[in-house]
């Protein structure tokens, strides 16, 4: 059996990995995390994917135990502004589309028409507009069928997600890392605050130990690279090549601000907002004490100083004294994320841009797959190959989904947005796009491997973006009675109205959680 795992790098990736491995294997595995106070973390990955609840469930953490400490808020959707044209808005919610007579309401909506697809077919957009919490004052979920049985979570993983859970979280990533560090050390993780001066390899090219400034040699059996875009172990030491996605995805830089805000006065939308700009898009993430915001852009179309000026103008006077954080993003993935006895997790493994909040998801998926493929002293190559296949497919699938956002957005009013229609698309996606021009995506026509997104997400994005709509509704619907479909549209309006009236505001509910009520 392997006895010692050494994680190099802290931050969200390092501490999510460390605490998950410790929870999975307990005292049968020694976990040491080495992090340097001299190396800053990116620290802006504040929006998440709905599957992140399984991570907290796995650690046995209830929301009241960690959310207040991390200034966390709920995220029910992503609000897309200006992607079709200036002034246009639609939501990508964590909500599956209902079906009527075997066809989704997206198919029926194309047949029957309506004011706005997302608000006509789904209830979450109304909750976001009204700034509602997804939980009633007593803590019960608004989707009562999904009620989690109380405040104490059960241990679960991504593979347990048979239903679409209706929300994710926003949180301060640096505070979450510190929260997990305290939790992890209390559960037996060894935390070493020190600089790694050198990484030593044996005659086979496997990592034998890292040399630190003050703690000397730290040896291990398995080494996990959580050093971010530097890829200290996987790229610099193991020399694993990095495969760029820049041919397909235009953005490679970001500038971020942390803007104080009075949430009592301003309220808190339970969603991330992605606002299309001339050379990219701006995220807006409401936390319980501030707004996290940033401009993601392509350096070929916008200089850093212009991006910062645009972001400050977008935020307004509240951004005047706030320090900007400029980030150069490495977009793509390693050819392999596991090489010999080194596994890269987080930014060191791969990254797309943060458009669908998948950064934390990639960390979670990486460590869950590591547990499923964990080796023994025989280091079976099939386990390594299976892990690399799963990670590569997941990242490539998210890449394809994000390419859809740009290729299918109707907006084409600036050089940047015109260029997004001219970039190449990954293999297989062009064929899918052709199929979707006749029939909306279903489980058989989207990217075929697990990447976190279901067919309903592709439907929502195509209908919201507006630049690649089916030429007409499905002919089959002309032969079916539409009474039940019309009743379902009416039911959505009634449910949404009733929920808006019954649910507390997000700010009110989170205040009660923070106060312990």
Supply the residues annotated as catalytic: 75
Distance between CA atoms of 141 and 166, rounded to whole angstroms? 9
Distance between CA atoms of 429 and 450, rounded to whole angstroms? 16
Count of Cβ atoms closer than 10 Å to residue 422 Cβ: 8
Cβ-Cβ contacts under 8 Å for 448 (sequence gap 6 or more) = none
455-465 vs 381-407: helix crossing angle, rounded to 10: 20
Q: Where are the beta strands (DSSP E) in 410-464?
A: none
- Which residue stretches of 200-279 are H helix? 263-266
Q: In terms of DSSP bridges, do strands 242-244 and 253-260 run parallel, antiparallel, or are they unpaired? A: unpaired
105-112 vs 455-465: helix crossing angle, rounded to 10: 30
Q: In terms of DSSP bridges, do strands 207-212 and 216-219 run parallel, antiparallel, or are they unpaired? A: antiparallel
- Pick from 329, 372, 376: which is nearest to 353 by CA? 329
- Pick from 339, 331, 360: which is nearest to 20 by CA? 360
Count of Cβ atoms closer than 10 Å to residue 423 Cβ: 14
Give the burial class of 141: count Cβ atoms within 10 A of its Cβ; 0-12 exposed, 13-18 middle, 19 or more buried.
middle
**What phi and psi, each to the nearest 5 degrees, are found at residue 237?**
-95, -50
Sheet holding 216-219, edge to edge: 196-201, 207-212, 216-219
Looking at the DSSP bridge assignments, the partners of residue 275 are: 81, 282
User: What tokens appear for 275 in the block?
Assistant: 């606002």
Distance between CA atoms of 314 and 493, rounded to whole angstroms? 33
User: What tokens appear for 66 in the block?
Assistant: 């960690």
Under a CB-based contact definition with an 8 Å cutoff, are residues 283 and 47 in contact? yes
């Amino acid at each position: 059996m392997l006895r010692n795992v050494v994680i190099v790098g802290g931050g969200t990736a390092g501490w999510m990995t460390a605490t998950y491995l410790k929870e999975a294997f307990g005292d049968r595995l020694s976990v040491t995390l080495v992090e340097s106070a001299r190396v800053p973390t990116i620290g802006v990955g504040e929006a998440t994917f709905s599957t992140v609840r399984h991570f907290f469930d796995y650690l046995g953490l209830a929301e009241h135990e960690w959310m207040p400490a991390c200034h966390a808020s709920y995220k029910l959707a992503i609000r897309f502004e200006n992607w079709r044209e200036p002034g246009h808005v639609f939501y990508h919610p964590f909500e599956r589309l209902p079906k009527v007579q075997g066809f989704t309401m997206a198919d029926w909506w194309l047949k029957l028409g309506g004011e706005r697809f997302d608000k006509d077919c789904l209830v979450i957009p109304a909750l976001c507009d009204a700034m509602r919490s997804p939980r009633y004052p007593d803590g019960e979920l608004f989707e009562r069928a999904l009620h989690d049985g109380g405040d104490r979570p059960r241990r679960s993983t991504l593979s347990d997600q048979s239903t679409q859970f209706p929300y994710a979280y926003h949180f301060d990533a640096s505070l979450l890392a510190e929260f997990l560090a305290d939790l992890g050390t209390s559960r037996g993780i060894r935390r070493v605050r020190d600089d790694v001066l050198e990484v030593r390899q044996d005659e086979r090219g496997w990592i034998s130990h890292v040399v630190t400034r003050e703690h000397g040699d730290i040896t291990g059996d398995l080494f996990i690279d959580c050093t971010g875009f530097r890829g200290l172990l996987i790229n610099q030491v193991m020399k694993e090549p990095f495969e760029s996605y820049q041919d397909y995805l235009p953005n490679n830089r970001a500038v971020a601000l942390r803007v104080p805000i009075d949430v009592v006065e301003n309220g808190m939308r339970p969603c991330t907002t992605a606002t299309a700009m001339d050379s990219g898009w701006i995220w807006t993430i409401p936390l319980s004490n501030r707004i996290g915001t940033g401009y993601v852009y392509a350096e070929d179309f916008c200089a850093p100083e212009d991006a910062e000026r645009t972001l400050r103008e977008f935020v307004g006077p509240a951004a005047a004294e706030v320090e900007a954080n400029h980030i150069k993003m490495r977009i793509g993935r390693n050819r392999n994320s596991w090489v010999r006895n080194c596994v890269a997790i987080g930014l060191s493994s791969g990254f797309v841009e943060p458009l669908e909040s998948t950064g934390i998801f990639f960390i979670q998926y990486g460590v869950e797959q590591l547990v499923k493929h964990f080796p023994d002293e025989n280091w079976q190559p099939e386990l390594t190959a299976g892990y690399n296949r799963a990670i590569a497919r997941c990242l490539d699938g998210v890449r394809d989904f994000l390419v859809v956002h740009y290729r299918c957005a109707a907006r084409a009013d600036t050089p940047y947005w015109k260029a997004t229609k001219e970039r190449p698309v990954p293999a297989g996606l062009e064929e899918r796009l052709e199929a979707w021009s006749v029939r909306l995506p279903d489980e058989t026509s989207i990217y075929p491997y697990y990447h976190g997104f279901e067919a309903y997400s592709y439907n929502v994005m195509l209908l919201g973006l507006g630049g690649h709509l089916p030429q007409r509704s499905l002919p089959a619907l002309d032969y079916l009675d539409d009474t039940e479909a019309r009743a379902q549209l009416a039911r959505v309006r009634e449910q949404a109205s009733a929920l808006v009236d019954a649910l507390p505001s997000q700010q009110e509910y989170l205040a009660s959680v923070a106060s312990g009520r």
